[in-house]
């Protein structure tokens, strides 16, 4: 008995028909599926993709978790069939019979699990289309599900209702601002969305973030865990491009990245330094990478000495990095990025691990950099101890669909009024989900700020 015989038996038991008829039914199912996808604004070509068509169907049915499980189960089932073919070759007939029995039992078990999740997907589809429950009998079996998709797909009267996600998107979109007015000086960001792919599913990490930052401003980037702060930073510095327009002093950061990388400095939370190097050699090596190649050795050395003086590191120039204190290492990591005198300076938790006095001293130096006409954006988990040093606040929050959105942008004083709180840490708690110990008000603030922004835009446009 070979694999074809096994499949014939399997399909015969499961579908009550032969393989040829099954193929015909599957083709009709796919044709109906193309029209179902069309109604949900999903590419019809996904219907022709084995395994993935049900994943996309799950999206139509607002049952994406079930779709992911179904994908893994069906891939596992196919892998077992392939392995059966491989192990049959050169195997004794008695062993083959045992293998066939074991594999058939395993396949039937997996198929039963797949059937359960397929039913869950179709239950979601019935709900989205507001069909009667008897439709499930059509979708439950392969010999009839083709009829369900054909009737659903080609019917002009049966259309999917708006899901909660669609209604949520429309509510926010109705209050979205017009295209951002780009400035000759400062940072202008118009981020439509930043997406990632998770098991062939598009996952939106950030959406609809529009703001302008003035030169000379020190800006606090605030948000709970997973709200998209680091993703936002990577988008505006060009490290991970989004569907966005990012302009710095009127120049397109994305289009002129090689030129603009000297104008953007980014200090990550992790310290990227070799412990066996001296402070001076660390800065000198960084200068070779961050300063334009046309800079002479004399100018490079002068710049290294100047930056060491700015950050109070001159006295420790010959010290090994591994022997430096935590505060010195923080200042060194910042100094490395400041060598090119960037117009936009971004720092991810520069005060992490520092006590209040050292953190205050470090933030004061960043305030001085902003006062030179630079834009300084800082992420910190202890903002209240240095909030007086900031001009503006950007608040990102996860909406109910786990997408990072703009919940507020404006001055520190306006943030106090908007959230009715004088403490930044209380603002984070208000937008965090209840599962994270917060108040779960993210959607409310996102919508309120979008509405406020739209009204302000109407006033400005007269």
**How would residue 231 be classed by pLDDT, with cut points 50, 70 and 90?**
very high
Distance (Å, whole) CA 144 – CA 340: 67
Is the Cα dihedral 310, 312, 315, 320 positive or negative?
negative
Domain assignment of residue 73, yes or no? yes
- Helix residue ranges, H only, 45-163: 52-60, 64-88, 93-128, 135-139, 142-154
My answer on whether 180 and 105 are in the same domain is no
Domain assignment of residue 188, yes or no? yes
pLDDT score recorded for residue 96: 53
pLDDT score recorded for residue 144: 81
Distance (Å, whole) CA 216 – CA 228: 25
Q: State how many domains the chain has.
A: 2
pLDDT score recorded for residue 216: 95
My answer on whether 109 and 152 are in the same domain is yes
The dihedral over CA atoms of 137, 141, 143, 145, expressed in degrees to the nearest 10, equals 60
Residue 359 has pLDDT above 70, yes or no: yes
My answer on whether 136 and 81 are in the same domain is yes
My answer on whether 361 and 440 are in the same domain is yes
Domain assignment of residue 317, yes or no? no
Global pTM reads 0.68
Domain-ending residue, one of 137, 161, 185: 161
My answer on whether 50 and 148 are in the same domain is yes
Residue 93 has pLDDT above 60, yes or no: no
- Helix residue ranges, H only, 238-392: 257-260, 279-290, 297-310, 326-338, 356-370
Question: For residue range 133-149, what is the model confidence (pLDDT) as tens digits?
Answer: 888 888 877 778 888 88
Residue 379 has pLDDT above 70, yes or no: yes
Cβ partners under 8 Å of residue 236, min gap 6 = 187, 189, 191, 244, 246, 253, 344, 346
Domain assignment of residue 276, yes or no? no
Q: Which of the residue ranges 86-100, 157-171, 268-282, 371-385 would you say has the lowest mean pLDDT?
A: 86-100
Q: Tell me the backbone φ, ψ of residue 271, rounded to 5 degrees.
A: -90, 120
Distance (Å, whole) CA 424 – CA 226: 17
Domain assignment of residue 269, yes or no? no
Residue 373 has pLDDT above 90, yes or no: yes
Q: Mapping DSSP to helix (H, G, I), strand (E, B) and coil, where does residue 198 land?
A: strand
Domain-ending residue, one of 161, 185, 220: 161
Of residues 78, 108, 76, 105, the one with CA closest to residue 11: 108
Distance (Å, whole) CA 55 – CA 33: 12
- Tell me the Cα Rg of the chain: 29
pLDDT score recorded for residue 169: 53
Residue 80 has pLDDT above 80, yes or no: no
Residue 9 has pLDDT above 70, yes or no: no
Residue 305 has pLDDT above 80, yes or no: yes
137 vs 307 pLDDT, higher one: 307
My answer on whether 361 and 454 are in the same domain is yes
Q: Please report, for residues 139, 337, 410, 454, the alpha-carbon distance to residue 415 in angstroms, rounded to integers and kept in the order given.
A: 52, 30, 7, 17
My answer on whether 45 and 155 are in the same domain is yes
DSSP state of 278: B
Residue 453 has pLDDT above 70, yes or no: yes
Question: For residue range 166-178, what is the model confidence (pLDDT) as tens digits?
Answer: 555 555 554 444 4
My answer on whether 109 and 174 are in the same domain is no
What does the block give as tokens for 268? Answer: 């990550």
Q: Which of the residue ranges 83-97, 131-145, 183-197, 256-270 would you say has the lowest mean pLDDT?
A: 83-97
Residue with tokens 């198929």: 111
Residue 366 has pLDDT above 90, yes or no: yes
In contact, 56 and 176? CB cutoff 8 Å: no
Of residues 450, 188, 211, the one with CA closest to residue 221: 211
My answer on whether 149 and 182 are in the same domain is no
Domain assignment of residue 330, yes or no? no
Domain assignment of residue 415, yes or no? yes
The dihedral over CA atoms of 53, 55, 56, 61, expressed in degrees to the nearest 10, equals 120
Cβ partners under 8 Å of residue 93, min gap 6 = none
Of residues 227, 246, 228, 226, the one with CA closest to residue 236: 246
Domain assignment of residue 290, yes or no? no
My answer on whether 156 and 216 are in the same domain is no
> Mean pLDDT, the chain, as a whole number?
82
In contact, 18 and 9? CB cutoff 8 Å: no
What does the block give as tokens for 29? Answer: 């199912």
My answer on whether 121 and 250 are in the same domain is no
Please report, for the domain that includes residue 246, its CATH number. 3.40.50.300
What does the block give as tokens for 442? Answer: 């993210």
Q: Tell me the backbone φ, ψ of residue 79, rounded to 5 degrees.
A: -65, -40
Which residues constitute the domain of residue 179? 170-263+342-460
Of residues 157, 186, 197, the one with CA closest to residue 370: 186
Domain-ending residue, one of 134, 161, 188: 161
Distance (Å, whole) CA 462 – CA 460: 5
**How would residue 456 be classed by pLDDT, with cut points 50, 70 and 90?**
confident
My answer on whether 133 and 32 are in the same domain is yes
In contact, 47 and 34? CB cutoff 8 Å: yes
């Amino acid at each position: 008995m070979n694999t074809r015989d096994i499949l014939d038996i399997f399909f015969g038991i499961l579908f009550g028909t032969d393989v040829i008829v099954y193929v015909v039914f599957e083709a009709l199912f796919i044709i109906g599926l193309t029209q179902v996808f069309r109604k949900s604004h999903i590419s019809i070509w996904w219907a022709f993709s084995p395994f993935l068509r049900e994943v996309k169907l799950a999206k139509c049915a607002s049952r994406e978790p079930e779709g992911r499980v179904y994908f893994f189960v069906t891939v596992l089932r196919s892998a077992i069939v392939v392995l059966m073919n491989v192990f049959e070759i050169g195997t004794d007939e008695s062993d083959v019979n045992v293998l066939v029995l074991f594999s058939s039992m395993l396949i039937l078990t997996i198929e039963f699990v797949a059937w359960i999740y397929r039913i869950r997907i179709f239950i979601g589809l019935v709900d989205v289309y507001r069909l009667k429950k008897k439709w499930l009998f059509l979708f439950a079996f392969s010999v009839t599900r083709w009829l369900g998709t054909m009737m659903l797909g080609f019917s002009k009267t049966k259309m999917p209702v708006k899901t909660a996600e669609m209604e949520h998107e429309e509510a926010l979109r109705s209050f979205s601002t017009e295209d951002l007015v780009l400035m000759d000086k400062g940072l202008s960001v118009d981020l439509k969305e930043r997406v990632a792919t998770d098991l062939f599913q598009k996952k939106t990490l950030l959406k609809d973030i529009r703001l302008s930052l003035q030169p000379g401003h020190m800006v606090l980037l605030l948000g709970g865990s997973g709200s998209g702060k680091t993703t936002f930073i990577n988008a505006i510095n060009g490290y991970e491009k989004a569907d966005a327009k990012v302009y710095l002093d009127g120049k397109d950061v994305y289009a002129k990245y090689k030129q603009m990388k000297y104008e953007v400095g980014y200090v990550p939370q992790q310290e990227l330094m070799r412990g066996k190097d001296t402070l001076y050699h660390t800065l000198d090596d960084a200068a070779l990478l961050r300063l334009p190649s046309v800079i002479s050795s004399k100018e490079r050395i002068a710049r290294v000495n100047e930056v060491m003086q700015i950050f109070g590191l001159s006295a420790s120039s010959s010290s090994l990095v591994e022997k430096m204190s935590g505060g010195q290492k923080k200042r060194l990591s910042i100094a490395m990025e400041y060598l090119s005198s960037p117009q936009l300076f971004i720092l991810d938790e520069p005060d992490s691990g520092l006590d209040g006095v050292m953190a205050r001293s470090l933030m004061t130096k960043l305030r001085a950099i902003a006062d030179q006409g630079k834009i300084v954006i800082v992420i910190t988990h202890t903002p209240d101890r240095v909030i007086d040093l900031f001009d503006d606040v950007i608040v990102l929050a996860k909406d109910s669909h786990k997408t990072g959105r703009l919940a507020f942008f404006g001055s520190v004083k306006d943030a106090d009024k908007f959230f009715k709180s004088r403490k930044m840490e209380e603002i984070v708690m208000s937008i965090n989900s209840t599962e994270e110990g917060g108040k779960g008000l993210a959607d409310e603030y996102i919508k309120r700020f979008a509405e406020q922004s739209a009204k302000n835009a109407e006033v400005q446009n007269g």
